[in-house]
Amino acid sequence: MSARNPNPAILEPTTLGSSAPVLALVRDGVSLPVLARALAACEPKPRAVLVRGPVPLDWLDAIMAADAEVWLVLRQVPNESLRAWLRASRERVRVMLAVMPGSAPVGEWLARIDTLQGDGLRVQVSLEPLIHGKTDTRAVLGELLAGLAERGLRQVSMGYLALDQPTEDWVLRTQGEDAGLLLAQYREGPMGQIPGRGAVRLLPRNRRQRCYAGLHALAAEHGLQLCISPLANPDFDRPRNSAPPANRQSLSDAYLAGGLPRRLEALL
């Protein structure tokens, strides 16, 4: 397993952008002056900067000063000073609550969403990392998806675990007897690059396609549209409005091959 990139870029374009990219912020060893210079030098100018919180408020101010939105990824309700900043800046901030299914009771995750929505923030939810065969099941996700729909969400992002050495160590440390089987699923998977992490190993592409097809159907049962996380699937990226390569199975193909109803094909 490859180690983390020892010299990461300060800002790395992600697959979330269009003509003006969304940028992922890499915090390790970066000072505020260096961040400000990097933002000023970006071409084209970013329309948003994706930040994994918590992060110092002066960093967020620097992003706003560069005329970009802040897309803040959180796993917890922020402290009161950050909440106050978010409330004051809500027109130019989006909050993504990154939920790791199975890591806490569903009610705790839903309560965090309630708190953020109560602050008047635009809240999106990402269910990741999913562990194939363990946390991507109806039993684990059903109540959570129902709760998201009840809170007015109309879409949810999902992404599978990507392996680098620290993540592999986490699997071995936390997943008990299942760890070996979970890691074996990645043996034939491709390598990819994720901003801020460098090289990672992904689940085999065809397996992810089949899994996401099933997750599309499960989300649709609750009136939710599934957005596949581009950060967790860098090999799925392709220019907008272009057809998939002829030698690659589309999500729609995988969905129909699983014997699921054609009337749901439009979801893909």
Contacts of 67 (CB under 8 A, 6+ apart): 45
Where does the chain show beta strands of DSSP type E?
A: 11-13, 22-25, 48-52, 69-74, 93-99, 122-130, 155-160, 191-194, 198-201, 225-228
**Residue 31, Cβ density class (10 Å: 0-12 exposed, 13-18 middle, ≥19 buried):** exposed
Whole-structure pTM value: 0.78
Q: What is the CA radius of gyration of the chain?
A: 19
Q: Is the pLDDT of residue 110 over 80?
A: yes
Give the per-residue pLDDT at 254. 40
Quote the tokens at residue 100: 């790791």
Confidence of residue 6 (pLDDT cuts 50, 70, 90): very low
Q: Is the pLDDT of residue 103 over 70?
A: yes
Residues 192/159, Cβ–Cβ less than 8 Å:
no
Q: Domain residues of the chain, as ranges?
A: 75-163+206-267
Cα 58–Cα 75–Cα 223 angle in degrees, nearest 5? 120
pLDDT tens digits along 42-85: 888 888 998 888 788 999 999 999 999 999 999 999 999 999 99
